[in-house]
């Protein structure tokens, strides 16, 4: 039984798409998508809090709980942009011995 010309094209297209899908399934995942390599950064787990600085400007505090880091961004109303105010490594701060 011979298929009409239009159906042969659809069958060929389906076979090509199926083979592309099979090839895509065989390709290994990129290294950055897996767990962090030794000495690398883990995928972030972020929290954000808003506040006001002593200068009156609005600020956003962004904490990455997985990597134990925090950045503070200041809102500049005249330029309508965020600028970095500071960075803290919370893990290093927690390891410091507090003295009097």
Checking if the pLDDT of 37 tops 80, the result is: no
SS3 category, 83: strand
Token pair, residue 32, equals 């950055």
Query: Cα angle vertex 27, ends 15, 14, to 5°?
Result: 10
Domain residue ranges of the chain, discontinuous segments joined by +: 45-95
Q: Please tell me the pTM assigned to this model.
A: 0.54
pLDDT at 70: 94
Model pLDDT, residue 73: 93
* 4: pLDDT strictly greater than 80: no
pLDDT digits (tens, 9 = 90+) for 60-76: 999 998 888 999 999 88
∠ CA(35), CA(39), CA(40), 5° rounding? 50
> What pLDDT is recorded for position 16?
95
């Amino acid at each position: 039984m011979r298929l009409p010309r239009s159906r042969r094209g659809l069958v060929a297209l389906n076979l090509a798409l199926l083979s592309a899908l099979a090839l895509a399934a065989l390709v290994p995942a990129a290294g950055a998508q897996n767990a962090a390599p030794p000495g690398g950064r883990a995928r972030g787990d972020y929290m954000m809090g808003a506040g006001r600085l002593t200068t009156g400007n609005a600020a956003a505090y962004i904490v990455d709980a997985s990597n134990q880091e925090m950045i503070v961004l200041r809102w500049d109303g005249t330029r309508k942009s965020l600028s970095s105010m500071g960075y803290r490594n919370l893990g290093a701060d927690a390891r410091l011995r507090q003295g009097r």
